[in-house]
Structure 1
Amino acid sequence: MLRLLCRSSAGSQTLVRWARRSQRGGGLLLHRALSCTSSRRCHGTGSGEVNGQPAENGSSNALYRDSVLLPKTEFPMKLTGQKLLDRELQIQQECGFADLYSWQRERKAKNKFCLHDGPPYANGDPHVGHALNKILKDIRNRFEMLRGRQVHYIPGWDCHGLPIELKALGDLGTSGLSPLQIRQKAREFAEGAIARQKAAFQRWGVMADWDQCYYTFDGTYEAAQLKVFQEMHSKGLIYQDYKPVFWSPSSGTALAEAELEYNPEHVSRAIYATFPLVTLPPKIASQKGLESVSVLVWTTQPWTIPANQAVCYMPNAQYSVVKRVDNSEKFLVATERTASIAALLGTDLQTVGSLLEGGICKHPTIPDKQVPLLPANHVTMVKGTGLVHTAPAHGMEDYSVASQFKLPVECMVDEDGKFNELAGAELQKLSVVTEGNDKVISMLKQCNALLKEEQCVHSYPYDWRTKQPVVIRPSKQWFINTETLKDKAKEALQKVRVLPESARSSLLTMLDRRTYWCISRQRSWGVPIPVFYHKESGEALINKYTVSHIAQLFKEKGSDCWWELPIETLLPPEVKAGAVSDYVRGEDVLDIWFDSGASWAAVLEAESDSRADVYVEGKDQIGGWFQSSLLTSVAVRNKAPYKSLVVHGFAVSEKGEKMSKSVGNVVDPDVVINGGKGPTEPAYGADVLRWWVAESNVFSEVQIGPSVLNSARDSISKLRNTLKFLLGNLQGFDPRLQAVDPKQMHYIDQYMLHLLREYSIKVTDAYSEFDAGRVIRVLQAFITRELSSFYFSIIKDRLYCDAEDSLGRRSCQTVLEEILDGVTRSIAPILPHMAEEVYLHAPGHDGETLFKSGWIKSSSVWRRPGLEEAVEGACAIRDCFLSSIPGKNAARYDLTVAIEPGLLFELMESLQEEPTSTTSQLAELMMAARVNLATKMPRDLDPEALLNHGTFLINLEGGVIREESAYSIAVTPTSAARCPRCRRYTANSADCLCPRCQSVISQG
């Protein structure tokens, strides 16, 4: 019955209905047993010859050469050097790259996609880190636009901050320059960097309206930022206080955690110092023989000893008084640390008592100063003695102890990182990290308080701009109380999707580390903190009226007006109580992380959801922009500004090293595109740079160098070759007029549409997951396996030698056009220049550009599970056939296939209705001279025939229809002659055309 149905005009539909599987994603895996090969699809002809035929040029072949329909196209096989660069720029111009973003914003779309651009820093030339980030974003934006979504993407730049100020001023420094002069030079420098970076981003093919970007120095942006500041201040989240902050002596300003780089190779002079106990703890005082006990502390920052206010111990831990065997000195240390300390001192320690709490010590270097022993939760037993020297002015945990126990917080260090007058005449004006440190150690030696000194290699914070060590010192600054925001931020973060998921823990850890955020900076180039101070009392004047008034002025005039306008204009009428002359304007500016962290307020608030679908930045933004954006948004709106986060790695050299000019391993994206000096730096063009980004595992460190770029270029060349083959075989084909309905197609052509639909689903899923690398892997597998090694090798005879308007050839061309269209669209987000170039050569478009024509047009009609069984069953037999003649030309052999009556036989019969054929679909699939199909092997089989056997498991309807069928094959050299036109062994004699070619020539 199946055989009859397959022979009817609706046979293929009936076959699919009979053999329909469950839908993708919910169906069962098909389990097939093949005795000859584990692969269901063949990987070649077994001959190693083009189109299965030797390339001979005899006179008889030349006679019919012009009748063979060989591929023809003007699409170039290769573009290199200046021709490549010119062609990319021409494509950008002809295909309207500059207008594409505006076009898609104006079209109607049911769904929107918002990718909020994290602002790159406007302090230098574009580098490969920019390329990695911007191209990764552009790939996703172009994909979403092709899918029909309206993309919201506004590029931005972070324009303030010390690095720009330092580079702008160069050797001039700030000496003698007014704030406005400094700001003017910094603005000019930032604008120049923006222009260079913007030009590079455009050259890379990044889609945006480049005339409508956001800049943190723009007055409108600054006004939106001050609105966020005002709302947070009104909620009590922003306050002024005197507390320790990270201070950069090299920059002369306070720093936030995100502005630090931790140097793991920093070397400190660590010391063990003694603090004599003057008042013994009760547990010790009651014991005899425990007089003259000293508390032993360990610190890597000896310069902080003069500022000591206490010694802290771990609550509920066991402490012991130990005695040196060599000189009878007694020390109070953690019991857990005694063995390590004994080894360090090179002598045994004898435990003679214990302590649980209490006691007062004598300061080692300051006469008559006493400091208490206090419990503190930050004390650990990992290193040192279990007793921690505590200087509230120079440590965050130390300050917490001081707040709890009302200890004084005395700052002995000035803004230049030098001891001030409070440190005493011996130390004053000495740099604390160099000669000041040396002097304190010398003072400890003089008073016999230095037990031991050692070098300690450990992680230490550095200024991320100047690469110099920072210190912790108290300063009157403006802070955000992140302690009260952390729980809300964590709750909001749980609703955010993070890629990779492993980055979530880093985000949470960074939040936990941040108890407060210092947002004031002692610079000129930034957004002024809108505060006024009373000249006599120093009291700050700041409220919703003052901030709102100044925000409006910034919106109209820009923040330069803070220095340009008189204070009478800056202060609104509502708050002019008393004489205006009693007040002065503040001189601090806002931390640039607050600048950029408020970008959602300036860029996203106009959107309906006011949240971005995704933020995409490097892993350094885990403690930077991701966090500052989250904290400000949660503070003002109780929600995250993003629905998902994508965290990518850094670009590194091919050896995995950080790029450095001194090492000479920096890769310049401009040189990558346009070429450099000599043949070792060829011009690769923008698409190679984009392929590098797409192909990389962006969730780890991304390597780049000559071998990586050459590999990318070669991969694109192979892809270009495939596209050229497709275009060449579509010469003269108009899909609008000549396309064949899938129902009328050859089964192998229908099968390829089925595979093309599977391909499009995989590619769409990969793009949706920000996994362009998987897109490339799926693409390459499809081209290599399904196309080059399988379909192309099978159809060349039909393409080249069938009549031009024959149903079989048009059926094939219809599929090739769909494949060309699907593959071109699938690579378009990654290779927009080449995709548009292919589209210009492809048939049936009439000048339309690819990016205005939508995503891959796969149809549910293409899904043919029953047909899949028929073709893949034939492929199993084909693999068995080719394995019987390894390395030989399949076209020289006749193949006999014997299958017992059943499902497999009926499936094969749908591909070849007659018992023997040279032109059936089964013969085409096998690429043999002739195929004989029978239910059993003939009795008169050639005794020299090569025999083989196999099985194929048919599994349909989720296992409802299941049958394992055996088959046998016999392979014999064909007795037919080679046709001089098609070169298949299907002619009666060497001088005669085969019947198919006779028919084509006679019609021609």
Structure 2
Amino acid sequence: MLLCRVSAVSQTLARWGRRSHRGGGLLHRTLSFSSSRCHSVSSGEGSAQPAEPGSVQGLYRDTVLLPRTDFPMKLTGQKLLDRELQIQQECGFANLYSWQRERKAKKEFCLHDGPPYANGDPHVGHALNKILKDIRNRFEMLRGRQIHYIPGWDCHGLPIELKALGELGTSGLGPLQIRQKAREFAEGAIARQKAAFQRWGVMADWDQCYYTYDGTYEAAQLKVFQEMHSKGFIYQDYKPVFWSPSSRTALAEAELEYNPEHESRAIYATFPLSTLPPEIASEGLNSVSVLVWTTQPWTIPANQAVCFMPNAQYSVVKRADNSQLLLVATECTVSVAARLGTELESVGTFTGSQLEGGICKHPTIPDKEVPLLPANHVTMAKGTGLVHTAPAHGMEDYSVASQFKLSVECMVDEDGKFTDLAGPELQNLSVMTEGTDKVISMLKECGALVKEEQLLHSYPYDWRTKQPVVIRPSKQWFINTELLKDKAKEALQKVRVLPESARGSLLTMLDRRTYWCISRQRSWGVPIPVFYHRETEEALINKHTVSHIANLFKEKGSDCWWELPIETLLPEEVLKKSKAGPATDYVRGEDVLDIWFDSGASWAAVLEESDPRADAYVEGKDQIGGWFQSSLLTSVAVRNKAPYKALVVHGFAVTEKGEKMSKSLGNVVDPDAVINGGKDPSTPAYGADVLRWWVAESNVFTEVQIGPTSLNSARDDINKLRNTMKFLLGNLQGFDPRVQAVDPKEMHYIDQYMLHLLREYSIKVTDAYSEFDAGRAIRVLQAFITREISSFYFSIIKDRLYCDPEDSLGRRSCQTVLEEILDGLTRSIAPILPHLAEEVYLHAPGHDEGDTLFKSGWIKSSSVWRQPGLEEAVEGACAIRDSFLSSIPGKNAAQYDLTIAIEPGLLFELMESLQEEPSSTSSQLAELMMVARVNLTSVLPRDLPQEALLSNGTFLINLEGGVIREDSAYTIAAVPTSAARCPRCRRHTADSADCLCPRCQTAVSHAH
């Protein structure tokens, strides 16, 4: 039965290889690959090595084909830097983007560049971001896609304005003077950042970038503004916003950072009930005071109500120390008693809804009364369960005011000081400092202060000035994010988010925003295109006025808002369409747009109009509340879809101790010092490829550590890679794959097997890059080089490479594979190490001078290389080799003759494909085993010498996708060889020590 089955399989697989003398070749069907069966063996004496001059081996030294290449194994210092710049020049890095835009491609890959801020020098955060993007772009370009990648800069905003003014050391400048200085400052920062990005090898057309201060960009932004305004998403209102006294402007949520160590003077204060709620009055309780707790005592003068939770329970409690009656939430009684240091005895309990109708006296303003009102934002987590409500200074307070028509009067000016509305005692005092002191002392004087305590808590600060903000009402322009929220969430469902865990943060950020304040009281930005009537202050803004302004901006830039007369900004035909009076009745608005609106509209200005959706946006996690969100909201408002198909959210660069980098701590890693070397001799010049390898190797979805350890490790990894490339290049000297390559069907089976493994490798590495996982691509690369190439293939083929005749089939077969491996490895590292890849390509055979790797495509693996049956043959031999090696620990395989006994069956046929003769010193099986001779037989001979080392094992053959499975047993006997060592190849295959083995005789005679 077995013979019938073997015969059938043999016919099915006959295409695979040469037929043997005894039963025919067997192989070539499906099978899942496992490289774990291949283990390394030291090349030891089995490889030809250079010999001492004058020795017998020395006679033949020149006949051994040792590797030769002028590719350097290591480049350091200035040589490395010069070489990288030379490569950029020679290989046309600067023109590569334009070249690929002009070629024909079936598919486009669009990665939309989030604009870095133009206010400082390039830093490692930039490096992490730009290189990560470039790795993906270069990979997609190699794969044949047309890349759409236009770098951009966010050029407006307060930090640039402040730095420009700071450098001038002057004030009192007009808007146009401020804008001129701010533009110059931004241009300087852009030039420095752009030069760094180019040095890192980032592929782009650096003459065609986008800048948010360009007139064309501003015009596109105004178009988005106009569409959102006409749809009712943008409106003007007087309501509380985050206000930065230190910047004198309104801020959006994304411009805040929360200081967890902020110290406030929290107070408990009483509001005496002047009119008791009917339910409390009916209990006969008098002189009850409502107890409130606040961390912002300065807001007490603006109080308009005290809020309670309708469905909570409240108690009137009596203080044990002074009999005062206080109204507090029942569940807060224990904690309040502890804070006040006294016992509180309940004398009556009520539901929240029974408090309606109660009216309190304002503690610091005589004759002012404030109502008790229900509100859902009241919590029991802190305080007393009764919330002091100042509509001018809180978002939730404002919504209560809107519901109950309370006053939203503001008594705090733009500098964060009390106005005259707060009364003469408080006027001109800064609310956060002396204003707070004064309010507390006023509460003390009127007997309303129950307790004061210091409180460390999280508090919003202006992200630029690092100073605390206040909430105050002002007339601003807003986007109604409440209306957009559900649409935005729906659009996000169709977006792929990497890592998926970031999706939750995006949704949380959307939920937190009920409105987005988009107006800023500054000069350096895109003016909000609105006019106000001189008398009524009514806003004039519509599609006619905005379109006209957008056209002016496109032609002249937004400076014209201040330069042109009002008649040009509001010409007759526009006024007519707007049904408005003469231009002289109007004044232009003085606010500019929030820079998050600037950058959030980039999709409209930069992406192609046919489908303005990018394949990916790739930015740091701080953009979850910034650019990712502003882009989403503007795009959903205008087009009902997200501007991106995928979001990639990476972590921040930190020190090797995991610390945030800061100039004050002196722990900043400067990418320029990484590349060119620092002032300190201990910081060597690593070059750009090391910086790129650091990015690629890191798990970018967490915080990414950088320092000497990671950089040295990256350099060492690249040097190991260079070593492999040098070996490959050295052995390809004089080989031209275009004329000397061997057809896979003609190759040695181990060579075919390596092509099979190379194909598996190329699939894995392609998948890794496709998933934005360059780290996995590196791990796949390193595993392939270490396990399959260096330890396994290189060690086996050295003898054939060095000692076979130069033009022999066996040697050319091997070189064909080495060239494919070199080509595959070079292309697979190219997205990460473009400089090294092009350097290798310059030395590699098989292409014309002037060709560059990046213009020649991705890894060229062929489906013909997939050889499942072949896999079983080579891996079966590897299993036998492992058994043999474990039987001779510490000894040299080359000094043994090996007898392999296998019963007739599939495994025997597989091994027979690797060795046609019963006994051979030069078969493919002997090469794989790296022994002197292999005897292949069905049973071990009885007359084995006493010193024979016996071992046995089994190998599971799995062919036809599991249809054919056979566990085949084998026995092996290793006997020290009696043959002499050949003075040329050092294999034990010669008749005597001064005589060449038959193979070397042929090689030497051919050479001469």
Relative to the length of structure 1, the TM-score reads: 0.96
2:325 pairs with one of 304, 325, 330:
330
2:879 pairs with one of 869, 873, 876:
876
Please give the residue correspondences for 1:74-93 in structure 2 after superposition, counting only pairs within 5 Å: 74-93=70-89
Q: Report the equivalent of 1:285.
A: 281
* Residue pair 1:77, 1:721 contacting (<8 A) in 2 also: yes
1:247 aligns with 2:249: no
Please, which moves more after superposition, 381-390 or 727-736? Answer: 381-390
Q: Report the equivalent of 1:41.
A: 38
* Residue pair 2:651, 2:704 contacting (<8 A) in 1 also: yes
Deviation string 1:33-66 (CA, Å, 9 cap, x unpaired) is: xxxxx94111233x76784879766610110000
Q: Report the equivalent of 1:370.
A: 369
Deviation string 1:203-244 (CA, Å, 9 cap, x unpaired) is: 110000111111000000000000111111111111110000
* Structure-2 change in CA distance of 1:933 and 1:303 (3 Å): same
Q: Report the equivalent of 2:510.
A: 511
Between the aligned partners of 2:26 and 2:543, the Cα distance in structure 1 is 71
Q: Report the equivalent of 1:493.
A: 492
How far 1:16 sits from its partner (Å)?
A: 10
Between the aligned partners of 1:8 and 1:592, the Cα distance in structure 2 is 67
Please give the residue correspondences for 1:311-330 in structure 2 after superposition, counting only pairs within 5 Å: 311-330=306-325
Please give the residue correspondences for 1:187-336 in structure 2 after superposition, counting only pairs within 5 Å: 187-288=183-284, 290-336=285-331
Deviation string 1:608-665 (CA, Å, 9 cap, x unpaired) is: 2211011001101001000000110111111111111000011111111000111111
Q: Report the equivalent of 1:736.
A: 738
User: Secondary structure at 1:456's aligned position in 2?
Assistant: strand
User: Secondary structure at 2:950's aligned position in 1?
Assistant: strand
Please give the residue correspondences for 1:698-737 in structure 2 after superposition, counting only pairs within 5 Å: 698-737=700-739
How far 1:5 sits from its partner (Å)?
A: 5.0
1:525 aligns with 2:524: yes
Between the aligned partners of 2:474 and 2:48, the Cα distance in structure 1 is 82
1:839 pairs with one of 822, 838, 841:
841
User: Secondary structure at 1:775's aligned position in 2?
Assistant: helix
Q: Report the equivalent of 1:426.
A: 425
Between the aligned partners of 2:53 and 2:657, the Cα distance in structure 1 is 51
1:340 aligns with 2:335: yes
How far 1:861 sits from its partner (Å)?
A: 0.4
How far 1:374 sits from its partner (Å)?
A: 1.4
Q: Report the equivalent of 1:949.
A: 952
Between the aligned partners of 1:886 and 1:309, the Cα distance in structure 2 is 89
Deviation string 1:121-147 (CA, Å, 9 cap, x unpaired) is: 000111111111101000000000000
Deviation string 1:776-796 (CA, Å, 9 cap, x unpaired) is: 000000000111110000000
Q: Report the equivalent of 2:816.
A: 814
Q: Report the equivalent of 1:644.
A: 646
How far 1:369 sits from its partner (Å)?
A: 1.4
Please, which moves more after superposition, 111-120 or 53-62? Answer: 53-62
1:600 pairs with one of 596, 600, 603:
603
Deviation string 1:552-572 (CA, Å, 9 cap, x unpaired) is: 000000000001000000003
How far 1:886 sits from its partner (Å)?
A: 2.0
Q: Report the equivalent of 1:20.
A: 29
* Structure-2 change in CA distance of 1:457 and 1:8 (3 Å): closer
Please, which moves more after superposition, 324-333 or 690-699? Answer: 324-333
Between the aligned partners of 1:611 and 1:282, the Cα distance in structure 2 is 61
* Structure-2 change in CA distance of 1:271 and 1:57 (3 Å): farther
Q: Report the equivalent of 2:1004.
A: 1001
Please give the residue correspondences for 1:423-462 in structure 2 after superposition, counting only pairs within 5 Å: 423-462=422-461
How far 1:390 sits from its partner (Å)?
A: 1.1
Q: Report the equivalent of 1:963.
A: 966
Between the aligned partners of 1:888 and 1:196, the Cα distance in structure 2 is 61
1:830 pairs with one of 824, 832, 836:
832
Please give the residue correspondences for 1:61-100 in structure 2 after superposition, counting only pairs within 5 Å: 61-100=57-96
* Structure-2 change in CA distance of 1:92 and 1:111 (3 Å): same
Q: Which amino acid is 2:721 matched to?
A: L
Q: Which amino acid is 1:755 matched to?
A: L
Q: Which amino acid is 1:353 matched to?
A: G
* Residue pair 2:264, 2:456 contacting (<8 A) in 1 also: yes
Q: Which amino acid is 2:552 matched to?
A: L
Between the aligned partners of 1:792 and 1:660, the Cα distance in structure 2 is 48
* Residue pair 2:233, 2:480 contacting (<8 A) in 1 also: yes
Q: Report the equivalent of 1:33.
A: none
- Can you give the 5+ residue segments of structure 2 that lack an aligned partner in the other structure? none
Q: Report the equivalent of 2:922.
A: 919
Q: Report the equivalent of 1:773.
A: 775
* Structure-2 change in CA distance of 1:434 and 1:48 (3 Å): farther
User: Secondary structure at 1:972's aligned position in 2?
Assistant: strand
1:624 pairs with one of 623, 626, 644:
626
* Structure-2 change in CA distance of 1:246 and 1:7 (3 Å): closer
How far 1:386 sits from its partner (Å)?
A: 1.4
Deviation string 1:460-506 (CA, Å, 9 cap, x unpaired) is: 11111111111110010000111101111111110011000000010
* Residue pair 1:674, 1:683 contacting (<8 A) in 2 also: yes
1:153 pairs with one of 149, 168, 180:
149
Between the aligned partners of 2:797 and 2:696, the Cα distance in structure 1 is 32
* Residue pair 1:16, 1:864 contacting (<8 A) in 2 also: no
Deviation string 1:909-962 (CA, Å, 9 cap, x unpaired) is: 111122221111111111111122222221111222222222211122222111
Q: Percent identity?
A: 85
How far 1:443 sits from its partner (Å)?
A: 1.5
* Structure-2 change in CA distance of 1:7 and 1:594 (3 Å): closer
* Residue pair 1:546, 1:572 contacting (<8 A) in 2 also: no
Between the aligned partners of 1:253 and 1:118, the Cα distance in structure 2 is 25
Q: Which amino acid is 1:919 matched to?
A: S
How far 1:720 sits from its partner (Å)?
A: 0.4
Between the aligned partners of 2:531 and 2:458, the Cα distance in structure 1 is 39
User: Secondary structure at 2:894's aligned position in 1?
Assistant: helix
Q: Which amino acid is 2:220 matched to?
A: A
Please give the residue correspondences for 1:471-490 in structure 2 after superposition, counting only pairs within 5 Å: 471-490=470-489
Between the aligned partners of 1:499 and 1:95, the Cα distance in structure 2 is 33
Deviation string 1:144-169 (CA, Å, 9 cap, x unpaired) is: 00000000000100000010011111
How far 1:678 sits from its partner (Å)?
A: 3.4
User: Secondary structure at 2:338's aligned position in 1?
Assistant: helix
Aligned residue pair count: 989
* Residue pair 2:267, 2:452 contacting (<8 A) in 1 also: yes
Deviation string 1:582-612 (CA, Å, 9 cap, x unpaired) is: 2111110000000000001111143x22110
Q: Report the equivalent of 1:35.
A: none
Alpha-carbon RMSD: 1.8
Between the aligned partners of 2:747 and 2:166, the Cα distance in structure 1 is 72
* Residue pair 1:309, 1:407 contacting (<8 A) in 2 also: yes
Between the aligned partners of 2:729 and 2:703, the Cα distance in structure 1 is 38
1:903 pairs with one of 906, 915, 922:
906
Deviation string 1:422-462 (CA, Å, 9 cap, x unpaired) is: 11111111111111112112222222222222222221111
* Residue pair 1:41, 1:790 contacting (<8 A) in 2 also: yes
* Residue pair 1:273, 1:444 contacting (<8 A) in 2 also: yes
Between the aligned partners of 2:549 and 2:782, the Cα distance in structure 1 is 58
Please give the residue correspondences for 1:884-903 in structure 2 after superposition, counting only pairs within 5 Å: 884-903=887-906
Between the aligned partners of 1:605 and 1:803, the Cα distance in structure 2 is 59
Please, which moves more after superposition, 438-447 or 471-480? Answer: 438-447
1:974 pairs with one of 977, 980, 987:
977
How far 1:301 sits from its partner (Å)?
A: 1.1
Between the aligned partners of 2:766 and 2:188, the Cα distance in structure 1 is 39
* Residue pair 1:6, 1:910 contacting (<8 A) in 2 also: no
Deviation string 1:843-894 (CA, Å, 9 cap, x unpaired) is: 0111210000000000000011111111111111111111122222111122
Q: Report the equivalent of 2:104.
A: 108
- Can you give the 5+ residue segments of structure 1 that lack an aligned partner in the other structure? 31-37
Deviation string 1:687-721 (CA, Å, 9 cap, x unpaired) is: 01100110011111111111111110000000000
1:793 pairs with one of 792, 795, 806:
795
Between the aligned partners of 1:134 and 1:16, the Cα distance in structure 2 is 53
User: Secondary structure at 1:484's aligned position in 2?
Assistant: helix
